[in-house]
Amino acid sequence: MNTETITAKVKETITTTRISGSEAVVRSLIAEGVDILYGYPGGAIMPVYDELYKFQDEIQHVLTRHEQGATHSAQGYARISGKVGVAIATSGPGATNLITGIADAQIDSTPMVCITGQVGSHLLGTDAFQETDVISISTPVTKWNHQITKASEIPEVLAKAFYIAKSGRPGPVLIDITKDAQFEELDFTYKKCESIRSYKPVPETSNESLYAAAKLINEAKKPLVVWGQGVILGAAETEFKAVIEKAGLPSAWTILGASAIETNHPLNVGMVGMHGNYAPNVLTNECDLLIAIGMRFDDRVTGNLETYAKQAKVVHFEIDPAEVDKNVKTDVAVLGNSKETLKALLPLLNKNRHEEWHQKFKDLYKIELEKVINNDLYPVKEGLTMGEVVKEINKQSGGKAAIVSDVGQHQMIACRYAEFNETKSNITSGGLGTMGFALPAAIGAKMAAPNREVVAIIGDGGYQMTIQELGTIFQTKVPVKIVVLNNDFLGMVRQWQQLFFDKRYASTEIQNPDFVAIAKGYSINAKKVTKREELAAAVEEMMQCKEAYFLEVSVEKEANVFPMIPTGASVSDIRLS
Amino acid sequence: MEKEKQLYTVTVYTENNIGLLNRVSAIFQRRHINIESINISVSEIDGVSRFTILINVSEEQMKKIIGQIEKQVEVIKAYYHTDDDTIYQESCLFKVKSDLLFEERQIQNIIKESNSRIVTVNKEFFVIEKSGRKNEIELLYRELKPFGIMQFVRAGRIAVTKEPMEISKMLEAFN
């Protein structure tokens, strides 16, 4: 490079532009590669919306019908793409409406940046109109948050926000910007954040821990892998598959780990946890080595900790040191990013097959097949089951759909029976169990991955928690497929009432509206199915439809999800009926 | 089974940012742990704050809490120590009626023997300052109580560790 070009380059990089804080917000988002954001305007965020109007060719704003919908859409966007989802709202109620989605993103490690407007800085603390202390409210449910009161802070703080949201163990970040900071001018330059001195996103991996883990895996006679979302978040699907295939490790998944490898992979032994598969739950208490990869031993996974895998040694591959020994004491913790640690582990492993041990999984699967799965998927009784609907969706999508589920019975059924052949295909609210998640999350997922088929599977209860997002579908024409499995009950709570509260169905029976009429009110194609013989044709019509489609399926009213580990029971005491 | 609890001094080095106190205290609050005392001050490093938090928990709980504190973005490093690992002090102020100083000779002896000192004396009241261990302060409190204490305040524990902490090195490594 000659001197002239160097000078020009330097000039180019140091050139600043005098712009408003609100324009700086939008330019910062564009600099971070944000193409879509979800939100709802209001007084304290109006200057930013004014800029979004000007920049609409470069960045698309999707108007949701409620701020909670904006966060779940941003989550759906993030979960299917691996990119940071962005939600924006005004101060006060706009900001508080974001909290559920933020809490959901925090517990499910979803990268998200939320921007809220705030009253003018001279009004802070005065109970001004639409003032809430959203920084205090969001502190326990954000990975980081920050209030901006000066325009000059905007580029640097937003750069930090995106860096923190997506690095290490991802999570939600909230940035609150006072209205005067949005109006104020600044000299704008944008530099991406690459490090923060007090923040170490990925801990160092010790070679000793890798050797120790490899030794335990090589010596194990009955190893069991339980993997979680860490495999997906670390983009370690290939490395993970190579490890389990080389060492012949039977591998089970947590709800958020689903789809990291294909459902029908011979080493995939199913889901662990409360409504997981029989074999991996029972054999958790028989394995001699439990290899946890990117998972956090949630209580829904472990059941009673006092009787969880006590006979086994435990190896934990984990990016977040605070998760190690939090719930289950480990013998070897391998800290670091799953992609790196699994890559380094591979050459240390011996080839193995563990055939006898695998046979045990197959034998127990047979029991589950006879006692549970066949009844779910090939029912002979009159009422439609949730399982056969999921099976039909698998069939007609060729197992290629991304499944966005809500929370409850249908979620467990969807996760148990959906067929996954591509990673990041199971989008659901795992840790927080947020009813109302699926509809807006499906919107975000479809927008982030327009070439993928996105099917939301939702219960009649959760559907009505964010049903207003049909308006977002109507306005954006996003072609999501919505399947409501309607049993006219809050099914999972009803199941618990049946099993543990002597069938006292307190407030779980729902009187539902005409869902088809509601969908049609939003000009969404809609159909209702009540009989088995109508199901296949209806699912086919839905899958063939190029537009958004709503399908309501009336399913058996009082069906239960099994297997089930009752609260406080051991994983090996899982019930089949 | 209740694991054996003991007193721990938690030391947290942080960036000096608004809201961080909320973020750190929330970690104790969500586990329903009472903070015995808390002190936040500057540290030996410019721009770095130092939290000194006293809590009564089991060691197992302590380790989990440290992990959750350390993962906060603006926390540089967190440690926990037992009383044996630290040199620690607490300090307090007593406000007492001035008459007593002259009428009750015993008060002067108490001040002398307890190694406390008089900060100020005026017509109405005088103020005694005492630094030391909690039990020394409690003893002084009990001794002064019969004479009437107008006001009493005790500051949170401050502590330095016997072992080095090497935060500066950690920060240098970053730069």
Size of interface A-B (CB pairs under 8 A): 49
Q: Are A562 and A577 in contact (CB under 8 A)?
A: yes
Interface test with B, best of A156, A176, A197 (most B CBs within 10 A): A197
- Please indicate whether the domains covering B5-81 and B89-156 agree at the CATH topology level: yes
Which chain A residues are closer than 8 Å to B175 by Cβ? Answer: 197
Tracing tokens 């993928």 back to the chain, one arrives at A452
Question: Residue A208 is which amino acid?
Answer: E
User: pLDDT-based confidence at B102, cuts 50/70/90?
Assistant: confident
Which CATH fold topology does B5-81 show? Answer: Alpha-Beta Plaits (3.30.70)
B73 with A196: Cβ contact below 8 A:
yes
Q: Nearest 5°: phi and psi at B24?
A: -75, -45
Can the peptide bond before residue A280 be classed as cis, meaning omega within 30 degrees of 0? Answer: no
Tell me how close the Cα of B142 comes to any Cα of chain A, in angstroms: 40
User: According to the model, what pLDDT value does residue B17 have?
Assistant: 87
Of B22, B67, B175, the CB nearest to A322: B67
Cα(B91)–Cα(B127) distance, integer angstroms: 13
Per-residue DSSP letters for A108-174?
A: TT--EEEEEEE--GGGTTS--TT---HHHHHGGG-SEEEEE-SGGGHHHHHHHHHHHHHSSS--EEE
For the cut 80, the answer to whether the pLDDT of residue A6 exceeds it is no
Which of B79, B74, B83 is CA-nearest to residue B157?
B83
Q: Are A367 and A270 in contact (CB under 8 A)?
A: no
Q: Are A249 and A217 in contact (CB under 8 A)?
A: yes
Q: Are strands A426-428 and A402-405 parallel, antiparallel or unpaired?
A: parallel
B73 with A197: Cβ contact below 8 A:
no
User: According to the model, what pLDDT value does residue A13 have?
Assistant: 57
Which chain A residues are closer than 8 Å to B70 by Cβ? Answer: 321-322
Q: Are A114 and A85 in contact (CB under 8 A)?
A: no
Chain A: residues touching B (Cβ < 8 Å):
135-136, 139-140, 143-147, 164, 195-199, 320-326
Pick among 1.20.140.10, 3.40.50.970, 3.10.270.10, 3.40.605.10: CATH of A17-188: 3.40.50.970
User: According to the model, what pLDDT value does residue A218 have?
Assistant: 98
User: According to the model, what pLDDT value does residue B174 have?
Assistant: 72
Tell me how close the Cα of B30 comes to any Cα of chain A, in angstroms: 9
For the cut 50, the answer to whether the pLDDT of residue A197 exceeds it is yes
Average pLDDT, chain B: 93
Which chain A residues are closer than 8 Å to B3 by Cβ? Answer: none
Mean pLDDT on B123-146: 95
User: According to the model, what pLDDT value does residue B69 have?
Assistant: 97
Q: Are strands B48-58 and B35-42 parallel, antiparallel or unpaired?
A: antiparallel
Which chain B residues are closer than 8 Å to A143 by Cβ? Answer: 73
Which CATH fold topology does A382-555 show? Answer: Rossmann fold (3.40.50)
Reported pTM: 0.95
Three-class DSSP category at B10 = strand
Cα(A154)–Cα(A39) distance, integer angstroms: 19
User: pLDDT-based confidence at A173, cuts 50/70/90?
Assistant: very high
User: According to the model, what pLDDT value does residue A12 have?
Assistant: 55
End-to-end CA distance of chain A: 74
Centre a 10 Å sphere on the Cβ of residue A59 and count the other Cβ atoms it contains: 17
> How many alpha carbons lie under 13 Å from residue A481 in its C-beta half-sphere?
24
Q: Nearest 5°: phi and psi at A552?
A: -100, 130
User: According to the model, what pLDDT value does residue B1 have?
Assistant: 44
The residues pairing with B38 across neighbouring beta strands, listed in sequence order, are B53
* Largest distance between two CA atoms of chain B: 62
Interface test with A, best of B15, B21, B71 (most A CBs within 10 A): B71
B73 with A198: Cβ contact below 8 A:
yes
Domain edges within chain A = 17-188, 207-360, 382-555
Mean pLDDT on A43-54: 98
DSSP state of A570: B
Which of A156, A155, A94, A154 is CA-nearest to residue A119?
A94
Interface test with B, best of A198, A199, A320 (most B CBs within 10 A): A198
The token pair that represents A64 in the structure block? 């949701």
Give residue-wise pLDDT tens across range B18-43: 899 999 999 999 999 999 999 999 99
Which chain A residues are closer than 8 Å to B19 by Cβ? Answer: 135-136, 139, 145-147
User: pLDDT-based confidence at A11, cuts 50/70/90?
Assistant: low
The token pair that represents A195 in the structure block? 């490090």
B117: which residues sit within 8 A by CB, 6+ positions away? B111, B128, B129, B130
Tell me how close the Cα of A195 comes to any Cα of chain B, in angstroms: 9
Can the peptide bond before residue A566 be classed as cis, meaning omega within 30 degrees of 0? Answer: no
Q: Are strands B86-97 and B35-42 parallel, antiparallel or unpaired?
A: unpaired
User: According to the model, what pLDDT value does residue A4 have?
Assistant: 63
Three-class DSSP category at A251 = strand
Which CATH fold topology does A207-360 show? Answer: Rossmann fold (3.40.50)
Give residue-wise pLDDT tens across range A360-377: 999 999 999 999 999 999
Q: Are strands B86-97 and B151-154 parallel, antiparallel or unpaired?
A: antiparallel
Of B15, B22, B30, the CB nearest to A136: B22
> In the CATH scheme, what is the homologous superfamily, with its name and number, of domain B89-156?
ACT-like. Chain A, domain 2 (3.30.70.1150)
Give residue-wise pLDDT tens across range A299-330: 999 999 999 999 999 999 999 999 999 999 99
A274-291: buried (b, 16+ CB within 10 Å) or exposed (e) per residue? bbbbbbbbbbbbebbbbb
Mean pLDDT on A202-218: 98
The token pair that represents A162 in the structure block? 């995106």
Chain B: residues touching A (Cβ < 8 Å):
14-15, 18-19, 22-23, 26, 30, 63-64, 67-68, 70-71, 73-76, 171, 174-175
- Please indicate whether the domains covering A17-188 and A382-555 agree at the CATH topology level: yes
> For residues A213, A218, A220 and A225, what is the CA-based torsion angle, rounded to 10 degrees?
60
Angstrom CA distances, A492 to A8, A183, A459, A500, B173, stand at 65, 49, 10, 12, 52
Which chain A residues are closer than 8 Å to B30 by Cβ? Answer: 140
Q: Are strands A112-118 and A85-89 parallel, antiparallel or unpaired?
A: parallel
For the cut 70, the answer to whether the pLDDT of residue B161 exceeds it is yes
User: pLDDT-based confidence at A8, cuts 50/70/90?
Assistant: low
Domain edges within chain B = 5-81, 89-156
More confident residue, A43 or B166: A43
Tracing tokens 């039990």 back to the chain, one arrives at B135
Q: Which helix (H) or strand (E) holds A259?
A: none
Cα(A116)–Cα(A101) distance, integer angstroms: 14
Which chain A residues are closer than 8 Å to B18 by Cβ? Answer: 147
Q: Which chain B residue shows the shortest CA-CA distance from A160?
A: B73
Cα(A444)–Cα(A80) distance, integer angstroms: 9
Average pLDDT, chain A: 97
Of A135, A143, A323, the CB nearest to B19: A135
Mean pLDDT on A453-473: 98
Q: Are strands B48-58 and B5-15 parallel, antiparallel or unpaired?
A: antiparallel
